[in-house]
């Protein structure tokens, strides 16, 4: 059965017509074709062409399009048509790879270009009239929800060790739960390549590792793939020392609405481990991801704290969404319900104490902190008047000179 896609963006067709007028073949490639065949919206319409980079630039400029040479070393130019950017990459094949980066040469063959891609479902292309070109069985794999490497898995992995993590990430979205045996055999032999170094630097950066892992952690099916990675030894290679129970706990947090950073914190349940992975020398988490992961780790680690303890933590600035998700995800529904009941705003400010007779200066802050603690100890029921009365009593009863 012939599969056809429908490209409706007139800007795409204008771009294609400019290349065709010069006798150059151009197609939509990769994830856009995969997603459209799967009934999903394409994130980007990336193109491949037999035009050399300098030819692509000349064709685009002649047609009146704006051009940015965003990746000339690898044959990529960005062509902007009526405000919409399209990446156009010259057909290429790898000449040499180091386990992450490749030296490429340009070729006139769409099949050769497809052969250098990672998985069959990512190796398809489509002409602008919608005809799909599938050299390695990607359509059938997509329909069967199989994730398979193009050609020999070992060869594809040795070209780029990050493909090990990409395999599990694509399993969460396009897999049927049964991992390809040939892929798993190659991964079991080669996963230590994720720690390979060159010139004193890791081939696969920590940022790219976190980029893949975060998408797995946030996905339905991510726990299944983490269990698979645990069994084959990948988590150990990455320095993630966790158990199956840890993975189940983290999955519960995801199911309760936790994002990837919260799930990571619940998985590790150790603030120091989160800080270690957040370090720029490791995964280099963003400040937001790091703070959310740390908060989740604190909640997950302190299983014996009461609901009131966590209401106090929220009163002190901890994100209530994180507290509730982790508490509920780890089976502490009663504590989560207590947090959900809300924390009233602290009813005093420094100006109130000054008005009550406390002189401006450090004493205001110290007294305010004492009252805030008393308010929390009272389960947040002390009123402003009750607390101010205690301040006045102390001041009035103080002995004179």
For residue 304, what pLDDT is reported? 77
Residue 200: the pLDDT is 82
Cα 351 to Cα 55, 159, 361, 365: the distances in Å are 70, 65, 11, 11
- Measured CA to CA, the distance from residue 357 to residue 320 in angstroms comes to 35
CA 217 to each of CA 210, 233, 242, 249, 291: distance values in angstroms, whole numbers, following the listed order: 10, 17, 14, 12, 17
pTM given for the model: 0.87
Residue identified by tokens 């073949």 is 25
For 217-229, what is the mean pLDDT? 97
Q: Kindly give the interhelix angle for 260-268 and 206-217, rounded to the nearest 10 degrees.
A: 90
User: Which pLDDT belongs to residue 394?
Assistant: 46
Nearest to 225 by CA among 267, 172, 186, 159: 172
Same domain, 281 and 365: no
Pair (133, 271) in one structural domain: no
Whether residues 158 and 126 share a domain: the answer is no
14 with 95, same domain: the answer is yes
Is residue 162 in some structural domain? Answer: yes
Q: What is the CATH number of the domain that holds 19?
A: 3.30.460.10
Q: pLDDT band at 199, cuts 50/70/90?
A: confident
Query: Which pLDDT value is given to residue 392?
Result: 63
**Does residue 287 form part of some domain?**
yes
Is 42 inside any structural domain? yes
**pLDDT value at residue 123:** 97
In a domain, residue 82? The reply is yes
Question: What beta strand segments (E) does 162-299 contain?
Answer: 197-198, 201-202
104 membership: H or E segment, kind and range: strand 102-106
What the block records as the tokens of 312 is 């106090």
Q: Give the three-state DSSP class for 252.
A: helix
249 in the same domain as 200: yes
pLDDT band at 398 (very low <50, low <70, confident <90, very high): very low
- The residue-averaged pLDDT of 199-211 equals 91
Do 158 and 271 fall within a single domain?
Answer: yes
- On whether both 63 and 180 belong to a single domain, the answer is no
The number of folded domains in the chain is 3
- Residues 276, 286: Cα–Cα separation, whole Å: 13
pLDDT of residue 287: 93
For residue 76, being part of any structural domain is answered with yes
- pLDDT score of 20 more than 90: yes
Reading the block at residue 116, the tokens are: 């250098």
Name the residue with higher pLDDT: 392 or 196. Answer: 196
pLDDT band at 277 (very low <50, low <70, confident <90, very high): very high
Q: What tokens appear for 62 in the block?
A: 């002649």
Whether pLDDT at 230 is above 50: yes
371: confidence class by pLDDT, cuts 50, 70, 90 = very high
Residue 329 lies in a domain: no
| Residue 363 structural domain | 350-396
Residues 6+ apart with CB under 8 A from 227: 244, 247
pLDDT digits (tens, 9 = 90+) for 285-312: 999 999 999 999 999 998 778 888 999 9
Do 279 and 205 lie in a common domain?
yes
Q: Is residue 2 predicted with pLDDT exceeding 70?
A: no
pLDDT in tens, 26-78: 999 999 999 999 999 998 899 999 999 999 999 999 999 999 888 777 899 99
Whether 183 and 153 have beta carbons less than 8 Å apart is answered as yes
Which residues, other chains included, contact 397 with Cβ-Cβ below 8 Å and sequence gap of 6+?
A: none
Claim to verify: residue 96 and residue 5 sit in the same structural domain: yes
pLDDT for the residue numbered 369 = 93
Residue 191 has pLDDT above 60, yes or no: yes
* 122 inside domain: yes
Boundary residue ending a domain (119, 144, 169):
144
Q: In terms of domains, do 139 and 159 share one?
A: no
Residues 115, 174 within the same domain: no
Which CATH number covers residue 241?
A: 1.10.3090.10
């Amino acid at each position: 059965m012939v599969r056809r896609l429908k490209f409706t963006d007139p800007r795409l067709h204008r771009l294609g017509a400019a290349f065709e007028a010069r006798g150059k073949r151009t197609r939509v490639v990769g994830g856009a074709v995969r997603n459209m065949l799967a009934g999903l919206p394409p994130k980007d319409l990336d193109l491949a062409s037999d035009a050399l980079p300098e030819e692509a630039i000349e064709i685009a400029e002649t047609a009146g399009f704006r051009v940015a040479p965003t990746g000339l070393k690898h044959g990529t130019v960005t062509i902007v048509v009526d405000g919409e950017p399209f990446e156009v990459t010259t057909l290429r094949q790898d000449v040499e790879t180091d386990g992450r980066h490749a030296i490429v040469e340009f070729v006139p063959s769409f099949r050769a270009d497809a052969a250098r891609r990672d998985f069959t479902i990512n190796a398809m292309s489509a002409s602008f009239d919608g005809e799909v070109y599938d050299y390695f069985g990607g359509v059938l794999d997509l329909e069967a929800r199989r994730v398979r490497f193009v050609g020999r898995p070992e060869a594809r992995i040795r070209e780029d060790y990050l493909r090990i993590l990409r395999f599990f990430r694509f399993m969460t979205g396009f897999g049927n739960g049964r991992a390809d045996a040939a892929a798993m055999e190659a991964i079991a032999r080669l996963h230590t390549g994720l720690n390979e170094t060159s010139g004193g630097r890791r081939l696969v950066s920590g940022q790219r590792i976190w980029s893949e892992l975060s998408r797995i952690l946030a996905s339905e099916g991510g726990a299944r793939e983490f269990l698979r990675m645990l069994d084959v030894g990948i988590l150990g290679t990455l320095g993630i020392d966790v158990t199956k129970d840890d993975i189940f706990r983290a999955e519960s947090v995801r199911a309760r609405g936790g994002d990837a950073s919260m799930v990571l914190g619940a998985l590790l349940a150790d603030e120091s481990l989160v800080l270690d992975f957040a370090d720029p020398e490791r995964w280099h988490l963003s400040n937001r991801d790091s703070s959310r992961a740390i908060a989740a780790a604190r909640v997950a680690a302190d299983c014996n704290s009461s609901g009131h303890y966590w209401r106090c933590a929220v009163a002190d600035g901890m994100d209530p969404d994180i507290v509730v998700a982790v508490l509920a995800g780890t089976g502490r529904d009663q504590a989560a319900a207590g947090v959900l009941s809300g924390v009233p705003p602290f009813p005093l400010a420094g100006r109130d104490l000054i008005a009550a007779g406390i002189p401006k200066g450090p004493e205001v802050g110290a007294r305010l902190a004492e009252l805030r603690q008393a308010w929390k100890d009272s389960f947040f029921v002390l009123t402003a008047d009750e607390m101010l009365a205690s301040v006045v009593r102390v001041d009035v009863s103080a002995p004179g000179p």
